[in-house]
A and B are shown apart, each in its own frame.
Chain A
Amino acid sequence: MIEYLILYLYTSLFIIFAIAVYGVVVKPNIIKKIIALSIAGDTANTLIIFLGYRLIEYPKPPVLPTLNPSRGEINSFVKEAVDPIPQALVITAIVINLAVVAFLVFLSIQLYKLYGTLDHRKILVRRGVGSEA
C-alpha cells in the first residue's frame, strides 16, 4: 500500500513538473511562463520535502514537544522524527522563489512599457528581429 502511494506521489509530481516545463517552453505569454516557472519551483520543493520523510509507522515532526526533555524522550525523538534538513532548505527556497518571481514581474512590466505586449513573438517583431508567423 505505502509503495503504491509513493509511486502515485512521484508520478503526480513529475507530471506536474512536465506540465510546468511545457508551459515555460511553449506558452508565448511571458506571464504564463512565469506562472509555469513558479509551479516548477513548488514541485521541486514538494519533492525535496518528501525525500526527507521517514518511512516508519508514526513519524513525528522535527520539533521537541517539551522544554525539559528526559534522556528517554530525546532518544525516542531521534528514532521517530523526520529529516529536518530538507525543510530548512525549502523554507528559504520558497522566499527566494517569491522574490525572484517578483523581480520577473517587474521585468515583464518594463517589457510591456517598451513593446506594448507580453507575447514574445510580437516583441521580436516589434524589435524588428523576427517576422509575424
Chain B
Amino acid sequence: MEKLLIYTLLLTLFVGGIVVAVSFNVFGGSPSGIIRSLALFYLENMYNVYAKTFWAASPEAVNAILWDYRGLDTIYETTVLYTALIGCLAIATGLEKKFRPKEPGLTIIVKAGTRIVVAIVILVSLVLAFRGYITPGGGFQGGVAFAIAPLLLIAAYSWRRLEELGFRLDKAVLLRSLGLAAIALIALAPYMLGGYILQNQFKPWIVFAGAPYTIWVFYIGGTLLFLNISEFFVVSMEFLMIFILLSIIYVGGEK
C-alpha cells in the first residue's frame, strides 16, 4: 500500500513537472499566432487555382494531405489496419462460435429509436465519405461513423437481425478486399501511365497528365473521391467484421 502511495506521488510530481514545462514552452510547439512553414505551404498550395504546380485539387486541407501530399503514409496506415484485422480473424478462427437462435431483443421503444438513428448514421457516414474532398470528412471518418450502425443493431436487436438485413461476414470480407484492391489500383494507375505512384494532379516535370478534377459538372478532385470511397469500404467493413465476430464468439462463464 505504501508502495502504491509512493508511485502515485511520483506520478503526480512527474505530471506537474510536464505541465509546468509545457506551459512555459520548454519543448516548443505550444500554440502561437505563427504556424509551421510546412503547414503554410500546404494551406497555400492545396487549392491554389492560380499556380497549379503543387496543387492537390482539394479545398479541404486534411484530405489533400492524407491522399495527395502524404499519400504513401496513408497507404501504410491502411496496411497496419489490415494486419490488425488479419490478427483478429486468425484468433477468432480458433475460438468456439455459438450461433444463437433469434432473440427478441430490447423493447419496442429502443427498437424504434434505433431504426431512426441507424438510418441517420448511415446517411451521415455516406455524406462524410463521398464529400470528404470538399467538406470536412473523408474515408476514415465515414468508415468509423458507419461502424456505429451495426453496433447499435446488435445491441437493440441481435446479430441475427443484422444478418437478415444483409450485413454478413462473407460480404464484409469481399467488400473489404474490393476496397483494398481499388486503393492499390488507383495508387498504381499513374505509375503505369508514366507518373509517380499515387500521383493526383499534373506536374510539369513528368509525363502523366493528371487525373481529371471535374467530370461533366461535378467537381471530383482527381483521384481523391475514389480513394475516399475505397477507404470508406475498407474501414467500415473491417469494423463490421470485428463486431459480427465479437457477437458470435462463445466465451462461457468463469471457471
A residues near B (Cβ < 8 Å) are: 6-7, 10-11, 14-15, 17-18, 21-22, 25-26, 50-56, 61-69, 71, 74, 77-78, 81-85, 87-88, 91-92, 94-96, 98-100, 102-103, 105-107, 109-110, 112-113, 115-117
For B, the interface residue count at a CB cutoff of 8 angstroms equals 71
B23 touches A95 (CB 8 A): no
Interface class of chain A by DSSP:
helix
In the assembly, what is the distance between CA of A67 and CA of B218, in Å? Answer: 11
Closest 6 CB pairs of A and B: A116-B255, A84-B61, A62-B61, A64-B59, A99-B84, A88-B65
B35 touches A66 (CB 8 A): no
Map CB proximity to A onto B230-248 as digits: 1 under 8 Å, 0 otherwise: 0000010011001001100
B140 touches A85 (CB 8 A): no
Q: Does B108 contact A (CB under 8 A)?
A: no
In the assembly, what is the distance between CA of A105 and CA of B136, in Å? Answer: 31
Q: Which of these, A53, A64, A85, A106, contacts B92 with CB under 8 Å?
A: A106
A11-B19, A62-B43 given; name 9 further pairs at CB < 8 Å: A6-B30, A10-B19, A62-B60, A64-B59, A67-B134, A77-B43, A83-B35, A98-B239, A99-B238
In the assembly, what is the distance between CA of A42 and CA of B71, in Å? Answer: 24
Within 8 A of A (CB), among B132-177: 134-136, 138, 140-141, 143-144
Give the chain A neighbours of B73 by CB distance below 8 A: 92
Give the chain B neighbours of A18 by CB distance below 8 A: 11-12, 14-15
Given contacts A52-B35, A106-B92, contact A92 B47 (CB under 8 A): no
Q: Does B74 contact A (CB under 8 A)?
A: yes
Q: Which of these, A22, A67, A91, contacts B141 with CB under 8 Å?
A: A91
Q: Which of these, A55, A71, A99, contacts B81 with CB under 8 Å?
A: A99
B84 touches A102 (CB 8 A): yes
Give the chain A neighbours of B95 by CB distance below 8 A: 109-110, 113
- Kindly provide the distance from the CB of B51 to the nearest chain A CB, expressed in whole angstroms: 10
Give the chain A neighbours of B50 by CB distance below 8 A: 71, 74
Q: Which of these, A53, A55, A63, A74, contacts B135 with CB under 8 Å?
A: A63
Given contacts A15-B15, A88-B66, contact A107 B39 (CB under 8 A): no
In the assembly, what is the distance between CA of A107 and CA of B8, in Å? Answer: 29
Q: Which of these, A50, A67, A110, contacts B59 with CB under 8 Å?
A: A67
Give the chain A neighbours of B48 by CB distance below 8 A: 74
Given contacts A55-B32, A91-B138, contact A69 B47 (CB under 8 A): yes
Give the chain B neighbours of A99 by CB distance below 8 A: 80-81, 84-85, 238
Q: Which of these, B12, B22, B60, B94, contacts A110 with CB under 8 Å?
A: B94
The listed residue with most B CB atoms (<10 A of its CB), out of A55, A81, A98, A102, is A102
Within 8 A of A (CB), among B117-135: 134-135
In the assembly, what is the distance between CA of A110 and CA of B249, in Å? Answer: 10
Give the chain B neighbours of A55 by CB distance below 8 A: 31-33
- Kindly provide the distance from the CB of B70 to the nearest chain A CB, expressed in whole angstroms: 7
In the assembly, what is the distance between CA of A48 and CA of B148, in Å? Answer: 25
Q: Does B18 contact A (CB under 8 A)?
A: yes
B29 touches A87 (CB 8 A): no
Give the chain B neighbours of A103 by CB distance below 8 A: 84, 87-88
28 pairs, CB–CB < 8 Å, chain A vs chain B? A6-B23, A14-B22, A21-B11, A52-B35, A53-B31, A54-B31, A55-B32, A61-B136, A62-B62, A63-B135, A63-B136, A64-B47, A65-B59, A77-B43, A84-B64, A85-B36, A85-B38, A87-B62, A88-B70, A92-B140, A94-B144, A96-B81, A96-B84, A98-B239, A103-B87, A103-B88, A110-B95, A112-B251
